[in-house]
Structure 1
Amino acid sequence: MRQIIVAPHPDDEVLGVGGTILRRKAEGAKVAWLIVTAISVDYGWDSEKVKQRTEEIKRVTDLFGFDEVFTLNFPPAQLDQVSMSDLVAAISGVFKLFEPEEVFVPHPSDVHTDHRIVFDAVTGCTKWFRYPFVKRILAYETLSETDFGLGPHQGFRPNVFINIEPFLNDKLRAMGIYASEQGLFPFPRSHEAIHALASLRGAASGFKAAEAFELLRERS
């Protein structure tokens, strides 16, 4: 199995797919991390913050044991100013290089514009006759984004649940690397909230802890 996690920003991969990444790696899968945006001094970020984020990405990479990490370096929170054709071309290039069978994408109802744009761009990279290696596409949920959408007909509808009980502590440890992205409960990306969501998804599927996904397409 070759799996790719498409993350608009670093930390989305942990929040939505962290336990599943660890499980897939334990099962022997090849797992790639595609980071669509990156902070940089050129985009107005402080050099110390850029250095910190680079170190965080390295630590997360080491913890998960990613086989490949791809960074597209588009400006964060500004994807609405990027040509969709440029974004699709960049993601397409990564897909054709890595040839993932299983693709994880942010949910289209997420509040963050970057998430919705990335979903649309990935959609353009999943046609079977151009990307025949893609077999399964799932949308993940991102605390502070998926759960804050207001569209009454676009909500997250989980229909795939993956048991992550043995990997929950390491998922929480991975999120702890992004200290600046967390806050005290009831902040949605707090340790307690992440644990609570895993318990809730587990209760819905007969596990002590689970991650939930919406299956968008599967061909076998």
Structure 2
Amino acid sequence: MTGVSDVLVVAPHPDDDVIGCGGSIAKHVRDGARVTVVIVIGRERSALDDAVSDAEFAAETEAAAKALGVHRCIRLEEPSRDFALSRRVHLDLVRILREVRPQVVYLPHDNDDDVEHRMVHRLTVEALWMAQSEFFQETGGRPMPAPRLVLGYEVWAPMARFQYAEDIDGQIETKVEAMRAYASQLRHAAWDEGIRGLARYRGAVSSGSGHAEVFQVISLGAVPAAGREGGGRD
């Protein structure tokens, strides 16, 4: 995807951006794009990483973003498991969209197993419509043009069918490095090995070899109408 100057990635939780589209992020950065990542929901502590302080976890997030070359990482810190699709959180994302004015947007695909991923999918689709409308003037920004491309990535539930594949053979090591920055999360599962294996499988399926990330195409040059779950459903 050449000729893209600004990219926005919306992630439900820390590390979802790395798992879902970290290779594509690194590729955009290589091609000169500015990438902004919005992490909607804050950290959920577990018995495996409770000794890791919030400052240490924030440093992991910053290290992962740095590894990918992310221009800016915004954490909304919404509460885990109490997350709600309120007007306030919609307007928070609309403000960011109107500021960044991205040509490409990434968000979780519409049928991910995690309920918060599906909620963030719906939040982002709705906020994209809101950001393009003449309403919601309290955000202070001008309506934004429609992104050229809106893509849904996979994390918890690999897509049975996809519409777009991105070759990340040259970025797979960068993606794995970014995942390893989340040392606390690797205590839960070997995500670094998992993302390498999934990318290898997606490369074999899409082109016969190499590594790839695959996506649901939600829109091309226009955003789905407000209230819909998104276009291009599997």
Q: Into which bin does the TM-score normalised by the smaller protein fall?
A: 0.7 to 0.9
Q: 1:113 aligns with which of 112, 115, 140?
A: 115
Partner residue in 1 for 2:176: 172
Name structure 1 gaps, 5 residues minimum: 148-154
> Are 1:218 and 2:220 matched, yes or no?
yes
Partner residue in 1 for 2:152: 139
Q: Distance in 2 between matches of 1:156 and 1:120?
A: 20
Partner residue in 1 for 2:227: none
Shift of 1:115: 0.8
What secondary structure does 1:200 align onto?
helix
Partner residue in 1 for 2:78: 74
Shift of 1:89: 1.1
Shift of 1:74: 0.8
Partner residue in 2 for 1:195: 196
Please tell me whether the aligned partners of residues 40 and 47 of structure 1 are also in contact (alpha carbons under 8 angstroms).
no
Structure 1 residues 69 and 193 mapped into 2: Cα distance closer, same or farther (>3 Å)? Answer: closer
What secondary structure does 1:178 align onto?
coil
Partner residue in 2 for 1:5: 9
Name structure 2 gaps, 5 residues minimum: 134-142, 223-234
Letter in structure 2 aligned against 1:95 = L
Partner residue in 2 for 1:53: 57
How many residues are aligned here? 203
Q: Distance in 2 between matches of 1:40 and 1:167?
A: 29
Identity score, percent = 26
Q: Distance in 2 between matches of 1:176 and 1:87?
A: 30
Shift of 1:125: 2.0
Measured on the aligned residues, the alpha-carbon RMSD in Å equals: 2.3
Runs of 4+ in 1 over 3 A off after TM superposition: 45-48, 128-131
Q: Trace 1:28-107 onto structure 2 (pairs within 5 A).
A: 28-39=32-43, 48-79=52-83, 82-107=84-109
Please tell me whether the aligned partners of residues 140 and 213 of structure 1 are also in contact (alpha carbons under 8 angstroms).
yes
What secondary structure does 2:151 align onto?
strand
Shift of 1:199: 1.0
Structure 1 residues 133 and 83 mapped into 2: Cα distance closer, same or farther (>3 Å)? Answer: closer
Partner residue in 1 for 2:28: 24
Structure 1 residues 175-184 or 66-75, which shifts more? 175-184
Q: Distance in 1 between matches of 2:118 and 2:182?
A: 22
Structure 1 residues 181 and 156 mapped into 2: Cα distance closer, same or farther (>3 Å)? Answer: farther
Q: Distance in 2 between matches of 1:100 and 1:37?
A: 21
Q: Distance in 1 between matches of 2:93 and 2:59?
A: 24
Normalising by structure 2, we get a TM-score of 0.79
Q: 1:159 aligns with which of 160, 163, 169?
A: 163
Normalising by structure 1, we get a TM-score of 0.84
Deviations 1:152-211 (A, max 9, x none): xxx552111111001101111111111222258xx5x53332111111111122141000
Partner residue in 2 for 1:208: 210
Q: Distance in 2 between matches of 1:61 and 1:191?
A: 15
Shift of 1:126: 2.2
